[in-house]
């Protein structure tokens, strides 16, 4: 499996699927599954059994993972863009291909 171009903390837009058009910050990237969890997108209801952290139990709403291929990075102007890599001053940096700016 290749390197993923989306990292934790990036702002992304969903470009395909049920949640197409919604935006949010990446909370976690699951490299082995090729998925990411985006804040406030793809919410599911999970039935929780009572435990030490949650003595009440009940139904909890949380984010479910989305396929990385359905996400696109958003640059500073708010446009969806692809990500590229280049060397600058001996360091490898990520840049937005649409605006050519370093992320």
Domain count within the chain: 1
Q: Is residue 101 part of a domain?
A: no
3 assigned to some structural domain: no
Domain contains 1? no
Residue 6 lies in a domain: no
From the list 30, 35, 25, 34, the residue with the least C-alpha distance to 66 is 35
| Domain span holding position 35 | 11-96
User: What span, in angstroms and rounded, lies between the C-alpha atoms of 76 and 67?
Assistant: 23
- Residue 4 belongs to a domain: no
Assigned domain for 43 exists: yes
Cα distance between residue 44 and residue 62, in whole Å: 6
The pLDDT profile of the chain, 103 residues, written as one tens digit per residue, is 568 899 999 999 999 999 999 999 999 999 999 999 999 999 999 999 999 988 999 999 999 999 999 999 999 898 999 999 999 999 999 999 999 999 8
CATH code, domain with 70: 2.30.30.30
Contacts of 67 (CB under 8 A, 6+ apart): 17, 34, 35
Q: Would you say residue 35 lies in a domain?
A: yes
Q: At a CB cut-off of 8 Å and minimum separation 6, what does 100 contact?
A: none
Residue 5 is assigned to a structural domain of this protein: no
- Cα Rg, the chain, nearest whole Å: 17
């Amino acid at each position: 499996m290749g390197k993923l171009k989306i990292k934790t903390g990036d702002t992304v837009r969903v470009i395909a699927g049920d949640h197409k058009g919604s935006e949010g910050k990446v909370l976690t990237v699951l490299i082995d599954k090729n998925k990411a969890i985006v804040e406030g997108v793809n919410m599911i209801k999970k039935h929780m059994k009572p435990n030490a952290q949650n003595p009440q139990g009940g139904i909890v709403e949380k984010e479910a993972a989305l396929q990385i291929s359905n996400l696109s990075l958003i640059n500073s102007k708010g446009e969806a863009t692809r990500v590229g890599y280049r060397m600058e001053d001996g360091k490898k940096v990520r840049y937005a291909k649409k605006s050519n700016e370093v992320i």
